[in-house]
Structure 1
């Protein structure tokens, strides 16, 4: 059920936008998962039941600095965690195997330190060479607290993208009464229209 879609835009262009607009270098996308709430399909038991107490499918997405969706995997059942959905997705497997054709590392601004290009996510995602998440815990040293603040600013773009999607398409404001495969189609269509409107 999982599908993979990617807009044709270079990683360096995406990273330049994140650095200029959100002050986070080497970022090629913000990633998160959204639960698209559905009416429980007949006979599905707890397959689509999630930790929020609703039934849903998962929309896993990466967006750019302009709230446009770059990569989308939609259709996994809502009971799975964001990290689990990522691991099973085509995007996650390509990220793990190093076959995404990401740009080579570059020096961070005003330093001689080379760093890889990365996606930014929350604590639900694993820390990897090309995946950053916040430092855990509270009362962090200043340098780590500043890092978390700046990562959070960049990461919130995907949450805002989901918010724009939901506000524009009222379909997502209440449980969708349809079979999961149809909800996948509705979600893809809404994302395509969302991107079209953001671009034009």
Structure 2
């Protein structure tokens, strides 16, 4: 069986000031304050290891391992976890990560509310697959939405787009992700991890050549249009299956409600009503 590799990369902050610097980038680029990163997971297609049966068989009908990651505002991987079998849900994989365990044990040295904008909690951003937490936000389910909740969903999705685009760049540039990886099982997770590290190096050393602006999603604020990045024109890493019942704790709901209020009052941006 494949082993699981978890790694905090060099970009992963360890102090309050380093986390505040990550949050400043999210606010500067994506108008989302107090954000420590965007979280998502993808299926990496693999050949079935001998004797594994249906162990790696995912909901899409092929064999895979899961790449879980946290990405900063510059499309760089800060944390990666790879090697869990494809039949696990992304929320389930996230629960097994060292990051999640440290988050729940309050061991990540997150900035306190009095250090953050508007006294709000420091947060990470996920999608429907993740459980709400006092430090993890996700959009509201797409039913019976008020305009305020639609605006909140837009603001979260806008900032979360960095992780989708990071995966898109990764697969576009490292073409092994467009194939079924066929090698010794104990090497697959190492190869995936190496690609994530090289992605970060190339983003930092040759951003324009490695991932030009046309490759990533961008917004035309004047026309209120989302312009998809060129990576979306090709088959990509397969998203994980959302778990809509993964609602989370009461403190997470209260925290989300505070962000809803903020994005509809002092934190509003002029174009949000047209984009939501």
What is the number of residues matched between the two proteins? Answer: 197
Q: How far, CA to CA, are the matches of 2:202 and 2:146 in structure 1?
A: 42
Report if aligned partners of 1:68, 1:195 keep a CA contact under 8 Å in 2: yes
Q: How far, CA to CA, are the matches of 1:36 and 1:182 in structure 2?
A: 13
Matched, 1:69 2:77: yes
Larger radius of gyration: 2
TM-score (norm 2): 0.69
Partner of 2:153: 148
Q: Which moved more, 1:174-183 or 1:162-171?
A: 174-183
User: How big is each residue's C-alpha offset from its partner over 1:42-87, in whole Å with a ceiling of 9 and x where there is no partner?
Assistant: 1101111111111111110000011000011111111111110111
Partner of 1:84: 92
Work out which of the residue numbers 188, 192, 196 in structure 1 matches 2:197.
192
Matched, 1:39 2:47: yes
Q: CA deviation at 1:179?
A: 2.8
Q: How far, CA to CA, are the matches of 1:40 and 1:7 in structure 2?
A: 32
Q: How far, CA to CA, are the matches of 2:121 and 2:10 in structure 1?
A: 21
Partner of 2:241: none
Report if aligned partners of 1:24, 1:150 keep a CA contact under 8 Å in 2: yes
Q: How far, CA to CA, are the matches of 1:107 and 1:115 in structure 2?
A: 9
Q: CA deviation at 1:104?
A: 1.5
Q: CA deviation at 1:31?
A: 0.3
Q: Which moved more, 1:133-142 or 1:76-85?
A: 133-142
Q: How far, CA to CA, are the matches of 2:150 and 2:173 in structure 1?
A: 34
Work out which of the residue numbers 3, 11, 22 in structure 1 matches 2:6.
3
Matched, 1:171 2:179: no
User: How big is each residue's C-alpha offset from its partner over 1:149-195, in whole Å with a ceiling of 9 and x where there is no partner?
Assistant: 01001111101100000000001101100233211010111111100
Cα RMSD, aligned residues only: 1.4
Gaps of 5+ in 1: none
Gaps of 5+ in 2: 206-276
Q: Which one has a larger percent strand, Structure 1 or Structure 2?
A: 1
Q: What pairs with 1:8-23 in structure 2 (closer than 5 Å)?
A: 8=11, 9=13, 10-23=18-31
Q: How far, CA to CA, are the matches of 2:132 and 2:26 in structure 1?
A: 20
Q: How far, CA to CA, are the matches of 2:134 and 2:74 in structure 1?
A: 24
Q: CA deviation at 1:106?
A: 4.0
Q: What pairs with 1:109-128 in structure 2 (closer than 5 Å)?
A: 109=117, 113-128=118-133
TM-score (norm 1): 0.94
